[in-house]
Structure formats: structure tokens, C-alpha cells
Amino acid sequence: MNKELNWTKEIYEKSISSRCWACTPYDKGWEHCPELRKDKKLQELVELEQSITPISGWAIEAVERAINFPPFCPHYAFPQPYIEVLDTIRKQTPPVFIHGCYTASAERKNRMSDYVFCLDKWLAGVSHEKAAAELCKHGNPKVDWNCVCENIWKILGKNTELKELLVERTLHRQRWWIKSLVWEDDARDVYYQDQYLGDIACDGDHYGNPAFRDPYLTELEVPEVKRMESRLAEICPDWEWFRSIIYESWLCTPKAFRFLERLIWCIGKEKKSVALPSYPMENPDKVPRFLQCDDTYPYTAEASKWVASFVEGIRSWVQNNPAEGKVENDVHLRLGEQTPLKLWLTELYLRKIELINPYGVVSLGKTNE
């Protein structure tokens, strides 16, 4: 490292390397993050950046979008979003679309739409046989809809005001996710265009796709939502718990359908009966997999193993060491030959992954002397 580099706030904040730390401690900035100021590796990366200026426009966009916004929490499309950053570096083209937070494909939206249809039919008092008959025609062909609908109707039981309100609130939230999450072929202009579910033209944060801001809070401002929640607060002793699981039912999360199973189970009982991280319980119910959805997300153990191999693949490429194993070899193939620009981008990406630590298996490289 060039010892003459003057490591100052001004030097750091002018660098492109300062623009990719969303959802990490470094996002607090120079003044409020001592770890950032002491990070010798980051200092080396800023120096490397200076040695290869001017930086191409595609590389700047790769830093500000692709490296800045890999999913900071588990995403159902894993590992696609992480791999695509390497492809951006190899192809030397800016990313067209970031498949990260607040994104979901048509396949996933359509699958959730099938379950929304089920709940809507139950709410309307239609028999499970009639609901299943329709879904057998247009629903996911891999699902035994006769079995699923029969189970949902059995679990929900007879209609009550509380159950109906909880189902209505759940339906509104799921329709909101289906409409508001984006994909490269869905600019919030495909699903539920005939329904106002919340303001999608908001000024919130974005997660790599600047045209689409995060409208999370705007669904809560819809008058119909306020009406439902006001009544639920009056008649539901466990409304705080139900509100948490309804709000945090992100369609982009790996276990979105499993969470829906647990929610439906508890609606049927009209009380909380499963544990949440923020709501631990003694002897919670073991909820059966009645939605036939357990093939829609990666298992944590498998994902953790992949992340560890992925990171080792990046480290070995950076260090010019041979690849070991399928995942590591794929990393090397995707990155190709080293150049100073690719090395700088890849090491920035490695530092970002070390800091967000997906699935909790990445060991952070030494930051201090």
C-alpha cells in the first residue's frame, strides 16, 4: 500500500468506493463509523481506485447499484442476485435490473395469487370444492388444489367477524406485495391495476432500481386498511402479534408461503399460536405444510454452504489461487482474467458481502492494523 495516501474524510467521501455500503455499518459515514476509518483494506481499495482513474461509467453504476444493493436479507431468488454482480463485472456493462430487495417474478406473484384466490373464496362463503374446481383449471399445476382448499377451509372453520377481518387484512397486504414488488417485465403495471392498494409513486428509498421507490408505508395509509385495523384493535386480543406477521409477510422473503401457512393457522384459532423472533412462545404449535409450498425457498443449511463457497471463490480469484469445488470454479469462470478495474470492483464486492454477512457464515477480513 502506498503510505503517502492521506486517509481523510475528504479523500474517502470523494471516492467511488464510498458509494456501496447500504445496509452496513459503513453506511453511517466517516464521522459515525470508527470501523470505516480504521479499515486498512478499504483504504487500499481507495488507493487502487485512484491508480486506475478515470473510472468508466459502467463501473461507477456497478458500484452504486450492483455492489451497493445485493439483498441484505435472505431473498427467494438466491443465489441469482449475488451471481449477477459477478456477471456485471465480467461483461463490463451496467446492470439493467437489480434482482434484490423488493423484487419478485411473475411466477412467484402468480403462486401467491392462487392462495389469495383461495382466501377470497372462503371469505365469500364459497365451498372449498368450487374453489378447488376453478384452481384446478388455472392454478399452479403442481399443487393438489382439492387437498389444499379442503385443508384451508378446515383450518379456518366457520366465519366470524374476527376471522373475516384478519383474512381481509391479509388479502390486502398480499395484493399490495403482488402489485408493488417489481421485476424487469413488471413496472408495477401488471397486477391489480383496477385496485388502489396504496401509493406506488412515493419518495422512499430504493434497493438498486432507482425508478421504483420503496412504498412499504403507503399501504398503511389506505382508508380501508385504517378501518380494518381500527376494528381489529378493538376485537382482537392478539392484534399486535397478527399485525406484525401481516406487515412482515414480504413476498420476496424465502419463506413467504410458509409464513402465510402460519398466519392462516392462527386466524383459524383466532389467537397467536406460533412463535416469532420478536414474540417467543413456550410450546408453539407445529403447523403442517398444508399449502404444499415447501419447494419454493432454499434451505438455510444449503444456502449457508453456498455462501461460504462463493466467498472463498472470490477470495481465491483475488489472490490468484486455484479454485476448489464447483461453486468456487464457477466464480473464477464468471470473473475471467484479472485486470486492475475488475480487481477493484471484485474486492469492493467482497468487502460488501463480508459486511452484510448473508446467512451468517462469512468471516470478516481484518480491518485494523
Read off the pLDDT of residues 77-121 as tens digits, 9 standing for 90 and up: 999 999 999 999 999 999 999 999 999 999 999 999 999 999 999
Mean pLDDT throughout 264-276?
Answer: 95
The yes-or-no verdict on residue 30 having pLDDT over 80 is: yes
The yes-or-no verdict on residue 256 having pLDDT over 90 is: yes
Quickly state the pLDDT bin for 2 (edges 50, 70, 90). Answer: very low
Q: What is the pLDDT of residues 329-349, one digit of tens each?
A: 999 999 999 999 999 999 999
Model pLDDT, residue 367: 44
Alpha-carbon torsion (224, 225, 228, 230), positive or negative: negative
| Beta-carbon contacts of residue 303 (< 8 Å; ≥ 6 apart) | 74, 78, 79, 358, 359
> With b meaning 16 or more CB within 10 Å and e meaning fewer, what string describes 246-276?
beebbbbbbbbbbbbbbbbbbbbebebbbee
- CA–CA dist 54, 59 (Å, integer): 10
The yes-or-no verdict on residue 205 having pLDDT over 60 is: yes
Please give the helix or strand (H or E) that residue 82 lies within, else none: helix 80-91
CA distances from 130 to 70, 121, 177, 265, 365 (A): 43, 9, 26, 22, 58
- CA–CA dist 148, 146 (Å, integer): 6
Name the more confident of 296 and 37.
Answer: 37
Model pLDDT, residue 124: 97
Query: What ranges in 286-339 are assigned the alpha helix state H?
Result: 300-318, 326-335
Domain boundaries along the sequence of the chain:
9-101+302-360, 106-269
Quickly state the pLDDT bin for 359 (edges 50, 70, 90). Answer: confident
Model pLDDT, residue 295: 65
Q: Which three cell numbers, joined as nine digits, stand for 134?
A: 376453478
The yes-or-no verdict on residue 4 having pLDDT over 70 is: no
| Beta-carbon contacts of residue 333 (< 8 Å; ≥ 6 apart) | none
